[in-house]
Amino acid sequence: MAEQVYRDASRRRFADVDLVVHRDTLGRAEGVLRSLGYRLGQVDTLLAPPPKGPTEWRAAEALTRRFYERFEL
């Protein structure tokens, strides 16, 4: 994708991998990634202070997901 967008992959330095999937398959794709240990990123970055405990973490993930769906998809 960096080659298509920037015409030269070396112009975009990155350490992550972006996956592009159709919106209809997003849930299945996320299920596969979670089974491999994937966690929703930037939960503690978008919300401050960072969530404490599993209940706060689940709520923070839900808010982060809504943010992504609204502004990133």
pTM for this prediction: 0.53
Confidence of residue 55 (pLDDT cuts 50, 70, 90): very high
From CA 16, how far away is CA 3, in angstroms rounded? Answer: 15
CA–CA dist 27, 22 (Å, integer): 10
Q: Calculate mean pLDDT across residues 4-31.
A: 79
Cis peptide leading into 49, omega within 30 of 0? yes
Say if residue 73's pLDDT is above 70.
no
**14-31 as b/e: b if 16+ CB within 10 A:** eeeeeeeeeeeeeeeeee
* Residue predicted with more confidence, 28 or 64: 28
Contact, 62 vs 46, CB < 8 A?
no
